[in-house]
Amino acid sequence: MDGADIDTDDVTVGELLRKVGDDLLYEYDFGDGWSHTVTLSAIHCNAPPEVWCLDGKRACPPEDCGGPMGYERLLGILAKPKHPEHHDMHEWLEPEYPDGFYSEAFDLDFVNEQLADGLEGVRADFESIDEEDLDLGTRLSVFKPAENAA
């Protein structure tokens, strides 16, 4: 499966990341081209699933800002108070960022809290499974989000 596009409805993360060091490229928004590398850094069998962000930089870009190129354009406009679109961009950002948009901010604790919140349903499902009935592939695949996840 190296280098292939894979329909995520047909596989689990556990089928793609089989051993420590395996990674995959995850495209968040096909229209905008946000790509993320996900690397399997450890396998802990017989433990509830956990996901951590180990490092990062910069704030999460605003939704629908036009992908990486649009985000860079936005940052350029915000950095120039005399730019003709400067005021408009601040008005566009204000509802989502009422205290201001700080592009260089990165809060590792906040990111990991968000990841933990997203796994609550998965952990509950995992804890209800008889661990002796699981093989390694199943243990890794419990990462797959629950059907009712938003």
pLDDT by residue (tens digit) across 90-128?
A: 999 999 888 888 988 888 998 888 888 776 655 555 555
126 and 148: one domain? yes
Domains identified in the chain, total number: 2
Other beta carbons within 10 angstroms of residue 89's beta carbon come to 19
Domain span holding position 53: 1-57+107-150
Residues 46 and 1 in one domain: yes
Locate tokens 């495209």: which residue? Answer: 27
* Pair (74, 12) in one structural domain: no
Whether pTM > 0.85 for this model: the answer is no
Please indicate, yes or no, whether residues 96 and 53 belong to a single structural domain of this protein: no
53/2 same-domain check: yes
Could you tell me if 19 and 90 lie in one domain? no
Residues 47 and 7 in one domain: yes
Per-residue pLDDT of 65-84, as tens digits, reads 888 899 999 999 999 999 99
pLDDT digits (tens, 9 = 90+) for 23-66: 888 877 667 777 878 888 887 776 666 778 888 888 888 888 88
The amino acid present at 130, given as its one-letter code, is D
Counting Cα atoms < 13 Å in the Cβ hemisphere of 142 gives 27
Asked whether the beta carbons of 23 and 97 are under 8 A apart, the reply is no
| Other CB atoms within 10 A of residue 46 CB | 8
